[in-house]
Amino acid sequence: MKYEITHIMQKHTNGPAEYRNHFLTRIFGSPYNGCYVLAVAIFSLGILRDHLYNRALADQPFYQPVSQPYLAYGLFATGNTLVLSSMWALGLTGTYLGDYFGILMDAPVTGFPFNVTGSPMYWGSTLSFLAVALYKGKVAGLLLTLEVFVCYWLALKWEDPFTAEIYAKRERDRAKSKKGGKRA
């Protein structure tokens, strides 16, 4: 799943680079246009990732004890519910690194699915990979799912503090602006 590592590294390189240098904003004329282009790229790479995962599993032997179709159905439904409901709650720019473009939400989303887990897209995606492995009865799928889990876990070790700092900076700037407004 070398591709998954590359995909996450690309996302976590482009996002901070945009935040610091605004290179996509400059190329595409606005933060929204830059975010939309990055969204298409991330979404497309995700489709390619899923295709490569399924192709890798197709070449692996079936192992009956791993085949758990009913558990797979439940995990797939849960995983996709987490992913799709988080996309709905965040919207396009919230889902696809809009905060790195300066497109910030008014407040953190705390309702479902964020009241279940702080990273519903990552954990929902991981559950979906696990579901496919169990549905197809592929040990290799379990190992690849473990790799996806580790990649997402490591990504969050960096992403969560970075995102928290973006919002903390906004609050500091707002406080300075209010302070400056009172003096005038």
Per-residue model confidence as pLDDT tens digits over 116-132: 999 999 999 999 999 99
Q: At what angle do helices 31-58 and 120-136 cross, to 10 degrees?
A: 20
Mean pLDDT of all residues in 126-155: 96
Residue 99 annotated as binding site: no
- For residue 79, the tally of other CB atoms under 10 A from its CB is 22
Q: Is the pLDDT of residue 149 over 70?
A: yes
For residues 81-90, give the mean pLDDT: 98
Q: Please choose, from the candidates 90, 180, 81, the residue with its C-alpha nearest in 3D space to the C-alpha of residue 131.
A: 81
The pLDDT, as a whole number, for residue 118 is: 92
Q: Give the H/E segment covering residue 128.
A: helix 120-136
Task: Average the pLDDT over each of 2-16, 62-76, 106-120 and give the range with the smallest value.
Answer: 2-16
Residue 160 annotated as binding site: yes
Average pLDDT over residues 21-50: 94
Query: Tell me, what's the pLDDT at 28?
Result: 96
Q: Where are the domains of the chain?
A: 2-183
Structural tokens at position 2? 């070398």
pLDDT at 183 over 60: no
Query: For the whole model, what pTM was predicted?
Result: 0.86
pLDDT at 6 (0 to 100): 57
Place of tokens 């705390």: 110
- What percentage of the chain reaches a pLDDT higher than 90? 70
Q: Does 173 carry a binding-site annotation?
A: no
Task: Give the Å distances, CA to CA, from 113 to 59, 64, 83, 86, 129.
Answer: 35, 33, 9, 6, 19
- Torsion, Cα 56 158 111 178, to 10 degrees, reads -150
pLDDT of residue 184: 44
